[in-house]
């Protein structure tokens, strides 16, 4: 552990372990750019410095490219492997000899698809670019000496679907991290969308606002990171970088105590609401009458009730908009309900950003359009209130891990080079609940730190569903400046019939904004509830060319594609301290359900009007290739599954070869596969990921290719035949009952049908290895050197599959997997048993035939 001086400076408190950094000894990249990157914008910076900047706007981010000593061999090896693959195809067709010709034909088709899929994945990676925000330049340009700021406004959207699958504590921590972020209070508003329409979410938000009156000033006073209290108080020794170390220990204890009480209040909300409702219902209703759910002010809750009835249940209730915290210029409206404390915040800004609760109206007669519908409802409601130029959305299980993150995104939006043409800024996704070994590849750093940096060198990264800042007019379907026409028509056929909303769209396009929203009135709230009603976006452009796209399970990818197709670009923002963190499903079944939805939605996109082959009239060529890869990659699993089941041929008494000459075939395969991993080795060097990250990515892809991906392909076939889309299933964030084990979910095996193929593949390969051992014993004296070589090469393939399925084998073991050495004992035992059974059967059959 680093000393307090090294971690926090001279004022960090040398003797107090509370002020030391838990992560002080963690490895950090060499500088912001990493040792394999070099500055790529020196000429631009020199020109900007000489000219004084365009219209007074400085360069607000730095650009880096991979050093030539690494990039050129990387590109050359891709080209060499492409030639090798083509030669391999030619050789296979020229030597079309096999013991099973139909299988040979299938394998050739599979190899062609593998080569095509690999090329789609590799071509967009020719020019990786890393972009780092320049926070100092941003502050110098937009922060004024009097403490105010000229930064544009941001509306922050948080979406939650269910208070059970998505625990309220996670959601409220997300909200608290937003309220405490380092962004001008008067230019930031937070909107929580509750798709359940449950009173408990609204009252939890009120409790959160009360606690925020203590938590937010505490964070500002002591420069707290991260600003989600649950994550912060889990730190064994939080890093202190504030200016009042002598007060910190007392403040820390007080706030921690208040937070524990806050959690108790959240836990008691369910029973409190139930008791209150029972009390009101006993006075208001007679025998057999509907039992309403009552708010604390003595009025009936307009959303879903505890005892449901037709117009007060999840999926059928009126739209709700409630302003929990008003704009800071008018002060928060909590009154005497705000937290009381004795902490000294005399020199600290105690104001809070605006906070709004939204539950869009739902009706069984209308499609709710899942998360995309919720986001579009927030988009419309926020336009009537704050109408900020920029929007950032979060899933409720994510929180702001770096309080500077919102400012970092602004560095790209306001930069003089391509800022006006940047539609969205995507951040990497990080997770802090993943097991240390990352058994199921949840961190997915090969994608977030490799593929996304590669796309950053093209038209930009794709939208990944959370942690992404948008330009509002880009979501409205407005073209970028270089393609935009004058006198854009804002009509009700496209945007809906709300006159105030149409007026807000015109103001957004013309950048006519006031930093102070209109006063909260019954008329304004009624209009906001109207634009979030179930039928408002029916027969309009919403979900097609306006807002987040409907009728697809992965609204994120297709929404990004639509925006890129209009000519906008996007940027990928990396920060030394991760911008956001979230919760990932560490249970295998939950993880695979998530993959089914993602991959199924990708296939839906391919068979829609947003097909990358025909859609996106202004999208760049290699960007189109990357989107095509995102939409067809699940098909690869069909051929992987075919190959993974091929070891059953060991059960055939005679020798069976998929390709002759077999030795040359296997050598070709080994060379081509080895080249993939050499290219991967170069990728992980410039991406900055570890071999473990890379290897977990390979292992989980094999598990997914024998379970989730084929299931997604099957779903797509059913969709094409029945016109029923991928079923949207909220990924459960609830953990197993064992509260003493943080990773209890990891060892909870939940069997579902999609795991059957993976289980069959595992059993087939265990059996194949056992049979191979048995054949070695039986035929060792009779086999030629060539036959022994062929057997060894075939066995190598079986072992490779077993190694890739190792995490799945651990999953089957359940809690026994806490000691992986048990598996290393069980597998040889299984091989030996199969071997002995094979030898015994062979002897019995031989004896019977001889007799």
Active site residue 745: no
pLDDT of residue 791: 85
pLDDT of residue 25: 36
Backbone φ and ψ for 620, nearest 5 degrees, come out as -70, 155
3-state class (DSSP) for residue 360: coil
Query: pLDDT of 723-781, one tens digit each?
Result: 776 665 666 665 655 556 788 889 999 999 999 999 999 999 999 999 989 988 988 88
Place 624 in a pLDDT band, splitting at 50, 70 and 90: very high
How many Å separate Cα 790 from the centre of its chain?
A: 44
Q: How far is CA 236 from CA 19, 233, 578, in A?
A: 10, 8, 19
Query: Which residue bears the tokens 């056992």?
Result: 770
pLDDT of residue 69: 96
pLDDT of residue 726: 61
Which of the residues 134, 195, 326, 745 is marked catalytic? 195
Query: Which residue bears the tokens 């899933």?
Result: 395
Average pLDDT of 825-850? 90
Which of the residues 194, 251, 556, 745 is marked catalytic? 556
pLDDT of residue 317: 95
pLDDT of residue 239: 72
Query: pLDDT of 96-146, one tens digit each?
Result: 998 889 889 999 999 999 999 999 999 999 999 999 999 999 999 999 999
Joined tokens for residue 681: 């080795």
- Residue 11 pLDDT greater than 60, yes or no: no
Query: pLDDT of 479-500, one tens digit each?
Result: 999 999 888 999 999 999 999 9
Backbone φ and ψ for 717, nearest 5 degrees, come out as -60, -45
Joined tokens for residue 654: 């005679």
Place 9 in a pLDDT band, splitting at 50, 70 and 90: very low
- Residue 250 pLDDT greater than 70, yes or no: yes
Average pLDDT in the chain: 89
Query: pLDDT of 654-704, one tens digit each?
Result: 778 888 898 899 999 999 999 999 999 999 999 999 999 999 999 999 999
- Residue 336 pLDDT greater than 60, yes or no: no
pLDDT of residue 473: 97
Place 242 in a pLDDT band, splitting at 50, 70 and 90: confident
Place 795 in a pLDDT band, splitting at 50, 70 and 90: confident
Active site residue 479: no
pLDDT of residue 16: 34
Backbone φ and ψ for 255, nearest 5 degrees, come out as -65, -40
**Nearest Cα residue to 622 out of 468, 804, 790, 459:** 459
Its pTM surpasses 0.75: yes
Whole-angstrom Cα distance, residue 171 to residue 167? 7
Whole-angstrom Cα distance, residue 128 to residue 65? 6
Backbone φ and ψ for 302, nearest 5 degrees, come out as -75, -10
């Amino acid at each position: 552990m680093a000393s307090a001086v090294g971690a926090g400076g001279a004022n960090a408190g040398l003797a107090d372990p509370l002020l030391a950094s838990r992560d002080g000894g963690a490895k950090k990249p060499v500088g912001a750019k990493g040792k394999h990157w070099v500055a790529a914008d020196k000429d631009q910076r020199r020109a900007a410095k000489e000219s004084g900047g365009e219209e007074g706007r400085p360069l607000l981010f730095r650009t880096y490219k991979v050093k030539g000593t690494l990039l050129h061999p990387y590109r050359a090896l891709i080209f060499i492997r492409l030639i090798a693959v083509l030669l391999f195809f030619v050789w296979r067709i020229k030597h079309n000899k096999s013991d099973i010709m139909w299988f040979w034909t299938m394998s050739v088709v599979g190899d062609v698809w593998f080569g095509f899929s690999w090329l789609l994945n590799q071509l967009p990676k020719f020019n990786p670019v890393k972009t780092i925000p320049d926070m100092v330049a941003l502050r110098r340009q937009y922060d004024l000496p009097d403490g105010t700021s000229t930064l544009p406004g941001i509306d922050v959207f948080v979406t939650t679907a269910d208070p059970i699958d998505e625990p309220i504590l996670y959601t409220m921590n997300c909200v608290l991290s937003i309220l405490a972020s380092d962004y001008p209070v008067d230019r930031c508003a937070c909107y929580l969308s509750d798709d359940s329409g449950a009173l408990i979410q609204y009252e939890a938000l009120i409790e959160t606002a009360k606690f925020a009156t203590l938590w937010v000033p505490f964070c500002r006073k002591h420069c707290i990171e991260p600003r989600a209290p649950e994550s912060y108080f889990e730190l064994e020794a939080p890093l202190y970088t504030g200016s009042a170390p002598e007060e910190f220990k007392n403040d820390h204890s007080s706030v921690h105590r208040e937070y524990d009480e806050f959690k108790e209040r959240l836990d008691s909300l369910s029973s409190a609401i139930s008791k209150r409702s029972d009390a009101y219902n006993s006075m208001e209703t007679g025998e057999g009458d509907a039992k309403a759910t009552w708010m604390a002010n003595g009025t009936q809750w307009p959303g879903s009730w505890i005892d449901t009835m037709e117009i007060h249940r999840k999926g059928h209730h009126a739209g709700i908009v409630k302003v929990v915290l008003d704009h800071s210029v008018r002060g928060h409206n909590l009154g005497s309900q705000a937290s009381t404390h004795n902490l000294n915040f005399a020199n600290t800004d105690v104001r809070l950003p605006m906070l709004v609760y939204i539950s869009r109206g739902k009706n069984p007669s209308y499609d709710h359009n899942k998360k995309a519908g919720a986001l579009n409802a927030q988009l419309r409601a926020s336009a009537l209130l704050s109408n900020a130029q920029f929007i950032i959305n979060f899933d409720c299980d994510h929180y702001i891990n770096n309080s500077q993150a919102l400012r970092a995104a602004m560095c790209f939006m306001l930069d003089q080079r391509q800022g006006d043409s940047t539609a969205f800024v995507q951040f990497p996704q990080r997770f802090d609940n993943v097991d240390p070994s990352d058994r199921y590849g949840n961190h997915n750093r090969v994608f977030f730190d490799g593929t996304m940096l590669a796309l950053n060198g093209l038209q930009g990264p794709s939208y990944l569903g959370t942690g992404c800042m948008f330009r509002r007019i880009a979501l409205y379907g407005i073209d970028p400046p270089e393609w935009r026409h004058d006198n854009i028509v804002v009509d009700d056929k496209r945007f809906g019939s709300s006159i105030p909303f149409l007026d807000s769209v015109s103001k957004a396009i013309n950048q006519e904004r006031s930093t102070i929203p209109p006063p909260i009135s019954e008329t304004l709230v009624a209009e906001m509830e109207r634009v979030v009603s179930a039928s408002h976006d029916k027969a309009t452009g919403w979900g097609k060319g306006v807002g987040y796209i409907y009728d697809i399970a992965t609204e994120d990818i297709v929404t990004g594609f639509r925006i890129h197709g209009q000519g906008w670009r996007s940027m990928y923002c990396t920060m030394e301290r991760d911008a956001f963190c979230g919760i990932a499903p560490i249970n295998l079944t939950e993880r695979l359900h998530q993959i089914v939805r993602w991959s199924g939605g990708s296939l839906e996109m391919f068979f829609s009007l947003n097909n990358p082959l025909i859609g996106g009239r202004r999208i760049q060529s290699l960007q189109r290739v990357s989107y095509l890869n995102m939409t067809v990659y699940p098909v690869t699993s069909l051929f992987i599954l075919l190959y993974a089941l091929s070891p059953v041929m060991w059960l055939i008494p005679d020798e069976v070869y998929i390709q002759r000459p077999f030795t040359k075939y296997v050598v070709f395969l080994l060379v081509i596969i080895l080249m993939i991993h050499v290219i991967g080795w170069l990728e992980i060097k410039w991406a900055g990921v570890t071999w473990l990250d890379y290897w977990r990515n390979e292992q989980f892809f094999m598990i997914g290719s024998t379970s989730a991906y084929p299931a997604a392909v099957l779903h797509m076939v059913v969709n094409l035949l029945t016109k029923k889309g991928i079923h949207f299933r909220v990924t459960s964030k609830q953990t197993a009952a064992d509260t003493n084990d943080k990773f209890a979910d990891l060892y909870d095996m939940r069997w579902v049908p999609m795991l059957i193929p993976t289980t069959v593949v595992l059993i087939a390969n265990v059996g194949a290895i056992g049979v191979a051992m048995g054949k070695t014993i039986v035929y060792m004296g009779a086999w030629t050197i060539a036959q022994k070589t062929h057997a060894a090469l075939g066995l190598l393939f079986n072992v490779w599959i077993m190694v890739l399925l190792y995490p799945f084998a651990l999953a089957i073991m359940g809690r026994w997997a806490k000691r992986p050495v048990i598996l290393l004992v069980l597998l040889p035992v299984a091989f030996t048993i199969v071997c002995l059974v094979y030898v015994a059967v062979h002897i019995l059959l031989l004896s019977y035939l001889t007799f």
